[in-house]
Homo-oligomer: A and B are copies of this chain.
Amino acid sequence: MSAPLDFWFSIGSPYTFLAVMRLPEIAERAEVEVRWRPFDARAIQAEAKDVPFADRPLKAAYMWRDIERRSARFGLTIRLPIPYPLAEIEQANRVAALAASEGWCPAYTIATYRHWFVDREPAGSDPNLSASIKEAGHDPARVLEQANAKDCIEALETATGEAKEIGIFGSPSFVADGELFWGQDRLEDAIEWQHNLDLGNPG
């Protein structure tokens, strides 16, 4: 058995919504094991001076329309426009890092994206933040204290460094045994690649 598929993502990335909502079902159908790896894509993009859609109103408008169409195609309800960009990206992703270390990252991430895209509540801020932690079965006070402590802040920074080392430049990305796939539209390709690895076939 090979290592699981790594799903690298940052809460705050709009396109990542499509991957977060679709991944669990598609992975389960293909019997592919997935490891959810939150990281800070914005830090990597700021360093590379490559922040997508910044100062690109035409592309940004296209992105929202594209997300709207793809959501409809996949049967996902969303209510645009939603708050963007997020004010508290770090907070959102620190909680994801803690959740990943404790095993409840998918539940939290799906909940926070749903509150953001359906209820128009920014991820990383209340009421979204506490509601999503609760829906994942945890206590917001305990989680927020721990997520903002030194260990958790460093864990997210370490993950971001690891992502950069691998050559990741945006969210969402998928890594199957060193093979990098970028973008929600490569979800199926990545799952198929991992499935072949699991069967013992090289990519």
Would A182 and B56 be within 8 Å (CB), given that A73-B189, A189-B73 are in contact? no
A48 on the interface (CB 8 Å rule)? Answer: yes
Would A59 and B169 be within 8 Å (CB), given that A66-B182, A182-B66 are in contact? yes
Number of copies: 2
A162 on the interface (CB 8 Å rule)? Answer: no
Would A62 and B169 be within 8 Å (CB), given that A48-B56, A56-B48, A56-B50 are in contact? yes
CB atoms of B73 and A180 under 8 A apart: no
Besides A50-B56, A58-B169, A183-B185, 19 other A-B contacts (C-beta < 8 A) = A48-B56, A48-B58, A50-B59, A58-B167, A59-B169, A61-B167, A62-B167, A62-B169, A62-B180, A62-B182, A65-B180, A66-B181, A66-B182, A66-B186, A69-B189, A69-B203, A70-B189, A73-B189, A185-B185
Residues of A bordering B, CB below 8 Å: 48, 50, 56, 58-59, 61-62, 65-66, 69-70, 73, 167, 169, 180-183, 185-186, 189, 203
A-B contact pairs, 18 of them (CB 8 A): A48-B58, A50-B56, A56-B169, A58-B167, A59-B169, A61-B167, A62-B167, A62-B169, A62-B182, A65-B180, A66-B182, A66-B186, A69-B189, A69-B203, A70-B189, A73-B189, A183-B185, A185-B185
